[in-house]
Amino acid sequence: MAPFSSAPEWDKAVSAIAESSSVLLLAHVTPDADALGSALGLGLALESMGKQVQVTVGETGFTTPASLSFLPGTELIRTPEDLSPVDLVISCDVSSDARLGSAKPILEAAPVSIAIDHHPSFTGFGTIHLVDPNAAATAEIILELIDRLELPITKDIAGAIYSGLTTDTGSFKYQSTTSHTLRTAARLLDTGIDSAKLSRLLFDDEPLAALVMMGEAVSRAKLLPDAASGLGLVYTSVSIEQRPGLDELAVERVIEALRKTSEAEVAAVLKQADDGHWKVSLRSKTSVNVGLLANQLGGGGHKFASGYSSTVDLEQTIAELIDSLNAVSNN
Contacts to Mn ion by CB under 5 A: 34, 93, 138, 168
Q: How far is the CB of 34 from Mn ion (least distance, A)?
A: 3
DSSP type of residue 150? T
CB of 296 to Mn ion, least distance (A): 21
CB atoms within 10 A of CB 259: 21
Residue nearer to Mn ion on the CB measure, 156 or 168: 168
Are 315 and 309 in contact, with CB atoms under 8 Å apart?
A: no
Helical (H) or strand (E) element with 241: none
φ and ψ at residue 82, rounded to 5 degrees: -115, 20
In the complex with Mn ion, the residue whose CB is nearer, 95 or 310, is: 95
DSSP lists the bridge partners of residue 284 as 266
Q: Which CB atom, from 176 or from 236, has the smaller least distance to Mn ion?
A: 176
Q: How far is the CB of 38 from Mn ion (least distance, A)?
A: 8
Would you say 136 or 264 has its CB closer to Mn ion?
A: 136
Cβ 131 vs Cβ 118: under 8 Å: yes
Closest separation between CB of residue 71 and Mn ion, Å?
Answer: 14
Name the residue number minimizing CB distance to Mn ion: 34
Close Cβ partners of 101 (under 8 Å, ≥ 6 residues apart): 28, 29, 57, 58, 59, 80
> Using CA atoms in the order 17, 45, 159, 142, what is the torsion angle rounded to 10 degrees?
20
Nearer to Mn ion, 124 or 215 (CB): 124
Shortest Å distance, C-beta 237 to Mn ion: 25
Q: How far apart are CA 315 and CA 219, in angstroms?
A: 18
Q: What is the smallest separation between the CB atom of 222 and Mn ion, expressed in angstroms? A: 29
| Cα–Cα distance, 325 to 318 (Å, whole number) | 10
Nearer to Mn ion, 70 or 174 (CB): 174
Radius of gyration of the chain (CA): 19
* Shortest distance in whole angstroms from residue 156 CB to Mn ion: 20
Q: Which of residues 232 and 301 has its CB atom nearest to Mn ion in the complex?
A: 301
Q: Are strands 233-238 and 222-224 parallel, antiparallel or unpaired?
A: antiparallel
